[in-house]
Amino acid sequence: MTSPGLDSVTVDIIGHNLVAIAEEMGVAMIRAAYSPNIKERRDCTTALLDTSGHSIAQAEHIPIHMGSMIGFIPGVVAQYGEDIHPGDIFISNDPYLGGSTHLPDVTVVAPLHVDGDLVGFAAAVAHHAEFGGSQGRAPDIYSEGLRLPILKIVDRGTLDEGLVRLIQLNTRVPDERLGDIRSQFAAVSLGVRRYTGLLERYGADGVLEATGRWLDKAETQAWAALRELPRGRVQFEDRMDSDGAGTENIPIRVAIDIDAEGIHFDFTGTGAQVAGQINTARAAVEASVYYTVKTILDPTLPANAGFYRIVDITIPHGSILDSAEPAPVLQRSDVCQRAVDAMLGAFSSILPERIPAASNGSISAFTFNGYDALRQRPFAYTEVIAGGAGALPTTNGQDAVQTHVTNTANTPIESVEQNFPLRITKYALRDGSGGAGQRRGGVGIIRELKTLNDGIRLTVKGDRVATGPWGLQGGGAGQPLAFVLDPDSDHSRSFTRADNGTVLAAETTVLAMTAGGGGFGSPPDTDSVPAADEREGDDVQ
């Protein structure tokens, strides 16, 4: 039924109100969070979803986090049915039950009702710096942390204290975990209130109709953009260097078919799931595909599931892109980044004027866990370190940025040193790390820390260690990622995934050097020095 006066302008106003609600939810969570991982690094995402788990509006946070929501909502609806009420909040983090894409990403949702009928959910995903499990390598998901199935943690306004105690008992930093979960409660509760206010302003029928038309608008806009693309099939293959557990050169293959029926992504031929922790739940790859489609077709597409309708995805089950339980998935984001690289590589053959060279190629990070001797408490610190973006046909790649399926900030030096037994001794651009070309790749980052007491365990993640990000049209590869212990000593050594869980002594220096982006076009002079070298020693601001 069409609501009187609901013209296209009103539809846009209501649609943008939905986006504003999602954005405000994110602000509330960041302000209320306890951990620097959420408060400073902003490793979190908020959204409004319909009862099928489709995005109505997603804040501009972390694209891969949509994978933590896609399967969760159908699970809630199927499991709880009529037992979903105003004031309820649900929680999960299990990739194999659709509640997350890896265990540190805890998803919390609260139902949205219209005249007593369930119409959707407000959702908040937050990456928790520590959620139990091994502090080194893990052979399966059971070892990676505390698994939460889809559970009701707040029942009509009453918190399940027993479940809270269970979560705290199985994490090493219990007060921080509870504080961050409460920040998620605050975010989804705010989303419910703001949505209720929208209903009061425009009427339930108006909001529901506008939501449907807002989704339809995204689909229509996507079809218009798709008609501008050449028809046919394009293919590409990229590779993961290693899983950290003995498997190397793992293929990521994609074939993309573009026709009048839509756009189909087929990852058949991708390598089988592996023993290491880089396997991926299907939903995370789906989120990566939707990110790629939005960037290729039209970056101005509304951030909702309307444009998903033109996309079809085939991923072989049991592959590294759709792993079977109980494969470990903690470091799944590196494979998602490589899937994006492969998709962009395929598109480069038909859209050479739009597609950049490969960016740094992984979500490079190190994690420090242990006991803080000065503050007399356990701690967990995770830092995702930016790298270089791939060069475009018309411009150099951006320096020191997060790319593709991630979008986190850095943790300020002051916050690190105030909260953890660590001192940052260097934070700078990695000059010369971008690939050479007519347009050079963006440069990566140097981030160097020193431990201040004994007994701190180190884990790292990131690929592009053996081979740097590729260039296009004759552009050079960027320098690969590297982690080094005590780099200026006589016992300096590299540190890889295979070393994860190593216990460091006090005064150990840990150096991360992230990959630069690939270059675009053959360099006019192969002996020329990359422009980044002119800034040697610049600090990252």
Nearest residue to 119 (alpha-carbon basis) of 28, 191, 173: 191
Listed in sequence order, the DSSP H helices in 227-372 are 282-297, 333-347
CB 114, CB 204: distance < 8 Å:
yes
Helix (H, G, I), strand (E, B) or coil at 524: coil
How crowded is the C-beta side of 325, counted as CA atoms within 13 Å?
8
Contacts of 162 (CB under 8 A, 6+ apart): none
3-class DSSP state of 338: helix
Q: What is the DSSP letter of 400?
A: S
CA distance 437 to 445: 20
Question: If we measure between CA atoms, which residue out of 123, 419, 142 comes closest to residue 277?
Answer: 142
- Give the separation between CA 107 and CA 127, rounded to whole angstroms: 9
Q: According to the model, what pLDDT value does residue 65 have?
A: 87
pLDDT of the chain along its 541 residues, tens only?
344 558 999 999 999 999 999 999 999 999 999 999 999 999 999 999 999 999 999 988 888 888 888 889 999 999 999 999 999 999 999 999 888 999 999 999 999 999 999 999 999 999 999 999 998 889 999 999 999 999 999 999 999 999 999 999 999 999 999 999 999 999 999 999 999 999 999 999 999 999 999 999 999 999 999 999 999 999 999 999 999 999 999 999 999 999 999 999 999 999 999 999 999 999 999 999 999 999 999 999 988 999 999 999 999 999 999 999 999 999 999 999 999 999 999 999 999 999 999 999 889 999 999 999 999 999 999 999 999 999 999 999 999 999 999 989 999 999 999 999 999 999 999 999 999 999 999 999 999 999 999 999 999 999 999 999 999 999 999 999 999 999 999 999 999 999 999 999 999 999 999 999 999 999 986 554 444 333 333 444 3
* Residues sharing a CB contact under 8 Å with residue 154, sequence separation 6 or more, in sequence order: 87, 88, 89, 110, 160, 185
Please provide residue 370's backbone torsions phi and psi, each rounded to the nearest 5 degrees.
Answer: 165, -155
Tokens of 158: 């009453």
pLDDT at residue 5 in the model: 58
Please tell me the predicted confidence (pLDDT) of residue 4: 53
Give the 3-state secondary structure of 218-247.
HHHHHHHHHCCCCCEEEEEEEEEEECCCCC
Question: Token pair of 66, please?
Answer: 């949509």
Which residue, chain included where needed, has tokens 């991360």?
512
Determine contact, residues 33/180, Cβ cutoff 8 Å: yes
Q: Tokens representing 470?
A: 């590729």
Neighbours of 505 (CB within 10 A): 11
Distance, CA of 518 to CA of 392 (rounded, Å): 9
Q: Return the pLDDT at 67.
A: 80
Residues 312 and 229: beta-carbon distance below 8 Å = no
Interatomic CA distance for residues 221 and 303, integer angstroms: 12
Amino acid occupying residue 214: W
pLDDT at 131: 95
Mapping DSSP to helix (H, G, I), strand (E, B) and coil, where does residue 391 land? Answer: coil
The confidence score (pLDDT) of residue 61 equals 85
Rounded distance between C-alpha atoms, residue 410 and residue 390, angstroms? 20
Whole-angstrom distance, CA of residue 261 vs CA of residue 60: 29
Question: What residues form DSSP beta bridges with 110?
Answer: 122
Question: How high is the pLDDT of residue 335?
Answer: 96
pTM confidence score: 0.93
CA atoms of 472 and 390, how far apart (whole Å): 9
Q: Where are the alpha helices (DSSP H) in 137-274?
A: 161-169, 174-202, 204-226
DSSP string covering 2-59: PPTT--HHHHHHHHHHHHHHHHHHHHHHHHH--SHHHHTT--EEEEEEETTS-EEEE-
pLDDT at 531: 41
pLDDT at residue 71, rounded to an integer: 83
Which two three-digit tokens encode residue 437?
């070309």
pLDDT for position 525: 67
User: Could you tell me which residues are beta bridge partners of residue 58?
Assistant: 47
Q: How far, in Å, CA of 305 to CA of 10, rounded?
A: 20
From residue 503, give the alpha-carbon distance in Å to each of 312, 381, 462, 500, 532. 45, 15, 20, 9, 36
